[in-house]
Every structure is written in structure tokens, then in C-alpha cells.
Structure 1
Amino acid sequence: MTATTATPARTRRPASRRGVLVYAVGVLTLSTAGGLVMASSPDPATSAGALLFVLSPLLLAVGLRTVGREGWADAGLRLGRERGWYAVALLLFPVLFAVPIVLGALTGDVRVPPGAGQRFLTLFATGLVARIAFAAFEELGWRGYLEPRLAALGVPALRRHLTVGALWAVWHVPYIVALGDEYTELPLAAQLPLFTVAVLAMAVIWGVVRDRTGSVWPSVLGHGMANAVAFPLLAADVVVIDSPLVHAARPEGLVVLPLLVLTAALVYRRWGRSVPSVLSGA
């Protein structure tokens, strides 16, 4: 029998604290730079700074996985297991956002003008692809890179999800500040703490979904669907909201936020404590 020598397959480098640190510092640096460019632009939402901001999680993840040779084995690019979570991801925020609108309509704080349904469907349909694309730019960083890198370092699940959520929330700050009144009617002193709690809750939900499925795509679809539904519902010609702090279809709205936190607690308690296997691209 003639012996043969197989060429060893290239494997990804093991997780390192340095890679996580580079990722964290990098996304915050790029988001700050994007926010500064946005603040100096006549139209911040469509400026080059806004594009740099939204691309930053993806740019850092791709850079570390390719230039840093960390590889893509744990990026979660396959459809994964437990695929019922895809339905949960797609339905979660449409259901949550319907609650304040319905309650507001019953109390008279929300009014729906004639033809609002058609305008909502038009805005939803025309924005859906872009919203999912922007969600992918984020999620391929947060749940595609940072979650599995922290998991490989042995960070426990809840602490990992909250760490990702804390960075995710801080990353948003330059964008929110640059948009100002375009983003929220609330003072930043109220907006930022409420928004941070909402982001932490979402990070727990999407982190558990990432653990259960081994795939990044449910969080991409869920994140994209949330934005695709929220933006039309925030348009003045779709619904008129007298108390936006309470009844707005936003994660930080005072009707949605407790429901979101409760959902995160239930999801983690029921499904987050035991995970089928270590995060992977299964």
C-alpha cells in the first residue's frame, strides 16, 4: 500500500480577546466617524456618514475573518436547525408594534386616516429589501461575529447577549445624536436610556435565537422586519399619534418596551439556559 500525504485544510484561528477588542473599538470608531460626517451633512440620513455607520459591523467582521484569518466556520451562514424560529423572528415585532397602535386607537390617542392601509403597504413593500439588507450589515457583525467569538471565549450566554447588546446600544449613539429631531421627538436624556434597555432586550432575544438555530439569518429577517414595519407606522400619513412616547411603534415606546423586556425574559428562561450545541454554522 502506497502512503499518501493529504494537504491539511486551513482552519480558522482560535478566538482571542484581541479580536473581540479590535472589533469593539473598530465599530465604535467607525460609527463615531459616520456620525460626525452625518452631523456636517445637509441630509444626514442619506449621507456617506450614514452608509459608513450602517456598514461598520459588517466591515469589521469581514476584515477580522479574512484579513485576520479567523475564518467563517462559526459565522452562522447556513439556515441552521430549529427553523420554527424563523417564523418567530418574522412575526415578533409586527405583533409587538400592533399593540400600541390598537390600544392608542381605542383610547383616542392614535388616529388612522383614510387610505392608511394602502400607504402602509406601499411603504412596507418599497422599503422591505433595503431594511433587510441594512439588518444584514448589522447582524453579520453582532450575531455573525461577536456572539460566536464571545461564545468561543467561554463567556456565559446571558452575559454574552448583554455584552453584545451594550456595544450595539453605544454604537447607535452617534447616529441618533446626528439625526436629532429626525430620529426622535424625545430629549436625548430620555431617549437614550429607554433605547438602551430596548436594545439589551433585543440582544437577548436574537442571541438566544442565534444559539438555538446556529444561524445568523433569523435575526437578520427579524431585525429587518422590525424596521420595515416600524418606519411606515411612524409616518404621519399612516397613523397620527398624540403621545409618541407611549404609543409609537418603536422598541423604546412605553407600551412596547415592557412587552419586549418580558419577551426577552421568557425567551431566555425557556430556551436560553440550555443550548443544543456550541454556536456554529449548522
Structure 2
Amino acid sequence: MSASTATRPARTRTPRPASWRNVTFYAVGVMVLSVLGALTLAGAQDKATSPGALLFVLSPILMAVALRTLGRDGWADAGLGIGRERGWYVFGALWFPVAAAVALLVGALTGHVHAGDGGLPLFGTLVATGLVARTLFALFEEWGWRGYLEPRLQALGVAGLRRHLAVGALWAVWHVPYILAMGSEYTDVPLALQVPLFTVAVLAMAVVLGVMRARTGSVWPAVVEHGVANAVAFALLDADVVRIDSPLAFAARPESLVVLPLLVLTAVVVWRRWGSDD
């Protein structure tokens, strides 16, 4: 081996600076996969566990991994460490369960919410058995929304609130093909009403999760919040846990008329207290 060969530096693939091209590829890619997933699950017997549903939920992480590797965006800003300000983990774990509890309490006091035959024991069982899967699905989403899109937009100079709302807008629209394909299996509320309410809820959640991502520097508090929220919500949709006469008002869902204002109020408070335009 010659001296010149021995001292030659190793060739490495340096990450490219953030680009609008890759962000556009990401947005278009997740929407294409969402639509393909919805078209595939539309004719499935068991829609919730069909390959189309899996493609839908995997689309954010698939596009993020593709652009961080093949697109050479790198992993430096993916937020895979534990992060700082770890109190946000506690906040994330409690935020939606508290909002859901308020909705159910108001419903119970007004006579629209009733305990099911299984009650609290069944609720605990469903949350415990579903938490790992729901958190895994949340990871598939959050590695895309808060793990890829948030930091890439920040690197492009998009200010905090605009960035969070932009991520939330894509997050909301990404859900629409799935919601339409699931139809009545997704919600009893007319879709013309459910989709706008759900969009507002997602925008509010995106602001809070975006602030959490910025304050901690980590994607994991958002994964915790998303996973716990889904585990609690799906458990409370079981009629053997709780029966809800007026789901539009009192269901433990982001778009219900009691939960939604609580989410929006939280977003306003969190942004004003802890948000930043950086």
C-alpha cells in the first residue's frame, strides 16, 4: 500500500441541506401511499387489519426513511434521543386521557354517558393489551410528522406556528382517504361534519406536539402522547366499556364537541407559554 493510498480520507455520504424538493416528495409520497392504502382496504372484509390499512399507517415512516437514506437527508435532526425538558413526557401521557375523562364526566352528569357491562376493569384490560400496538402505530406516524417533516421545515426557515400548522394540515388531509374508505366503521357522525371537526382537532394537536418536539428536541414525547391517546380512545369506543348516547358531543375522540374545545384551548395555552418562532 502506497503512502498516498494509506492517507487518503474515506469517502462518506454527507447529508444534503434541507430542500423544498425533498419536503415536496415527502408530502406527495405520503398522500399517494394513503390513497393506495385506502383503495386497497375499501374492498377488504376486515378493513382495520387489511394490508391497505397497514400501508396507510406505515406511509409516514416509509417516506421518512426513504428520504433520510436514499434522499440523503441524513438522521442528524431526526430527534431519536430522549431529549431535554422531560416533563413533556408526563404531559403527553396525560393530555388526551384528561380531555376524554372530562367529556365522559360531562356526558354522565347530563345523562348521555352510561357505564358498560365491563366498566373500568375492561377499560384497563383493553388499554393494557392495546398500548404496545397503538404506540407502535404512533411511532410509524410520528417518525414522519415530528421526526422528519417538522425538523426539515425548521431547517428551511419556516417559523414555529406556521410549521406546526403546515404539518397538521398534511396530517389531517392524509387521514381523509382512510376515513372515507372506512366509512361507518370509522365514525357514526356524518362525514361532512366529522372531517372538518377532525381537521381542527388535528391542527390543535399538531401545534402542541410541534411545541413538544421543539422544546425537547426529541420525537419520543409525541410518540408517547399519540400512542396513549389512541390506546385510551379505542378502549373507550367499546360499548362494553361505556355507552354514549350522543357520540358527537361526548365521545372520547378528538373531534367530539367537548374534547375539541379542550384541545384547542390547550394548543393556545401551550403555544403562548412555550411556543417559539424559531
TM-score range, shorter chain: over 0.9
1:245 counterpart residue number = 248
Quote the offset at 1:273 in angstroms.
2.3
SS of the residue corresponding to residue 70 of structure 1 reads: coil
In 1, distance between residues paired with 2:179 and 2:277?
Answer: 36
Q: Matches of residues 77-226 of structure 1 in structure 2 within 5 Å?
A: 77-226=80-229
Quote the offset at 1:138 in angstroms.
0.1
User: 106-115 vs 172-181, which deviates more?
Assistant: 106-115
Quote the offset at 1:6 in angstroms.
5.8
What are the ranges of 5 or more consecutive residues in structure 2 without an aligned counterpart?
Answer: 1-6
1:14 to 9, 14, 17: 17
1:64 counterpart residue number = 67
The code of the aligned residue for 1:268 comes to: W
1:232 to 217, 230, 235: 235
1:45 counterpart residue number = 48
Would the aligned equivalents of 2:35 and 2:177 in 1 still touch at CA under 8 Å? yes
Residue-by-residue CA offset, 1:96-154 (whole Å, 9 max, x unaligned) = 11001111111111001344111101111110000000000000000000000000000
Q: Matches of residues 15-30 of structure 1 in structure 2 within 5 Å?
A: 15-30=18-33
In 1, distance between residues paired with 2:127 and 2:257?
Answer: 24
What is the Cα-based RMSD across aligned positions, in Å?
A: 1.3
Quote the sequence identity (%). Answer: 68
What are the ranges of 5 or more consecutive residues in structure 1 without an aligned counterpart?
Answer: 276-282
In 2, distance between residues paired with 1:69 and 1:274?
Answer: 27
Would the aligned equivalents of 2:64 and 2:143 in 1 still touch at CA under 8 Å? yes
The code of the aligned residue for 1:67 comes to: L
Would the aligned equivalents of 2:160 and 2:277 in 1 still touch at CA under 8 Å? no
SS of the residue corresponding to residue 82 of structure 1 reads: coil
Residue-by-residue CA offset, 1:11-67 (whole Å, 9 max, x unaligned) = 311000000000000000000000000112111111100000000000000000011
| Pairs aligned (count) | 272
In 1, distance between residues paired with 2:108 and 2:9?
Answer: 68
Would the aligned equivalents of 2:37 and 2:54 in 1 still touch at CA under 8 Å? yes
What TM-score, normalized by structure 2, do the two folds share?
0.95
In 2, distance between residues paired with 1:246 and 1:71?
Answer: 44
User: 105-114 vs 258-267, which deviates more?
Assistant: 105-114
